Amino acid sequence: MKKIASVLAGFMLLLTVVGCSSSASGGNELVVGIDDKFAPMGFRDESNEIVGFDIDYARAAAEKMGKEVKFQPIDWKAKESELSSGRIDLIWNGYTITDERKEKVLFTKPYLENSQVVAVLTDSNITSISDLAGKQIGLQSLSSAADALSANDIHGQVKNISEFPDNVLALSDLKNGRVDAVIIDEVVMKYYMSKEEGTYKILEESLAPEQYGIGVKKGNEELLQSLQKALDEMNADGTAAKISEKWFGEDKVLK
């Protein structure tokens, strides 16, 4: 009986140690869940290296925290499940703060402004949101773009909504004429417009303003506070501004 009690005590101690670990890797490494096709926030360059604003931002924050960082591409539809299961420590890749998401994760303070916009080809006759009535719309599945469209009155008037795993595929279908418009993050769309000048345009009307934040697992206030402290230090010493200027040509980071 004493042997059984001793084994159980040891097992419970092991669970306690594992449960208290602040990292999905169980060590001094932060595992960051990303969508690796979300330029310019996090994406793969010509050498297949993961780069982007959020990538540099996360690396700098991890350095401030005295931690290593690992970027883990995930199915963006399952991002909250990846976080709650402990497979990743942070959701950090243009992650929009919403009331619904606040029920599932802890958020840092917002660090970037964004809007959900309507992108069309430059020769499109769509000039306003009302023109989307009867049209085929594309967007990334389970994204804030989907939420923004659902909240707008035009949602019930569109012909059909095609959902894609990522924005790259949505824009490909736009160019090929399979959809008439794509609902997408403004910061992402402006990046693609700079890479393919004369191909796309953004309607003047936007669907929804929003802010990006970093998602932390519910209950892990220690990691949240440590991360926020690092982000505040990056704002104070100019690190955040330098990273923003590299990717956006200006300091867009919220203070």
- 240: CATH: 3.40.190.10
Same domain for 27 and 106? Answer: yes
Same domain for 27 and 57? Answer: yes
Q: Tell the residue number behind the tokens 């992108």, with chain if given.
A: 119
Structural domain contains residue 74: yes
pLDDT at 45 over 70: yes
Structural domain contains residue 11: no
pLDDT at 11 over 90: no
Same domain for 99 and 147? Answer: no
Structural domain contains residue 151: yes
Number of domains forming the structure of the chain: 2
Q: What confidence score (pLDDT) does residue 3 get?
A: 41
Same domain for 70 and 127? Answer: no
Same domain for 122 and 232? Answer: no
The reported pTM is 0.84
Same domain for 161 and 231? Answer: no
Same domain for 198 and 233? Answer: no
Cα 70 from Cα 53, distance rounded (Å) = 15
pLDDT at 18 over 50: no
Q: What confidence score (pLDDT) does residue 27 get?
A: 73
pLDDT, average across residues 219-225: 97
Spell out the residues 6+ positions from residue 138 whose beta carbon is closer than 8 angstroms to its own: 161, 162, 163, 164, 170, 173, 174, 178, 179, 181, 182, 183
Structural domain contains residue 107: yes
* H-run or E-run covering 28: none
pLDDT at 192 over 70: yes
Q: 3-class SS at 64?
A: helix
Same domain for 79 and 191? Answer: no
Spell out the residues 6+ positions from residue 132 whose beta carbon is closer than 8 angstroms to its own: 118, 126, 154, 157, 158, 180, 181
Find out whether 96 and 212 touch, Cβ atoms under 8 Å. yes
Structural domain contains residue 12: no
Cα 255 from Cα 245, distance rounded (Å) = 15
Same domain for 39 and 84? Answer: yes
Burial class (CB in 10 A: 0-12, 13-18, 19+), 95: buried
Same domain for 174 and 194? Answer: yes
Query: What's the whole-number average pLDDT of the chain?
Result: 91
Structural domain contains residue 80: yes
Q: What confidence score (pLDDT) does residue 26 get?
A: 60
Q: Which residue has the higher pLDDT, 8 or 25?
A: 25
pLDDT, average across residues 209-214: 97
pLDDT at 155 over 60: yes
Structural domain contains residue 3: no
Question: How crowded is residue 99: how many other Cβ atoms within 10 Å of its Cβ?
Answer: 6
Same domain for 195 and 125? Answer: yes
pLDDT at 10 over 60: no
The per-residue pLDDT for range 223-241, each reduced to its tens digit, is 999 999 999 999 999 999 9
pLDDT at 6 over 50: no
pLDDT at 20 over 70: no
Domain span including residue 82: 19-113+211-248
pLDDT, average across residues 127-143: 96
Spell out the residues 6+ positions from residue 46 whose beta carbon is closer than 8 angstroms to its own: none
Same domain for 205 and 231? Answer: no
How many whole angstroms from its chain centre is CA 22? Answer: 21
Structural domain contains residue 241: yes
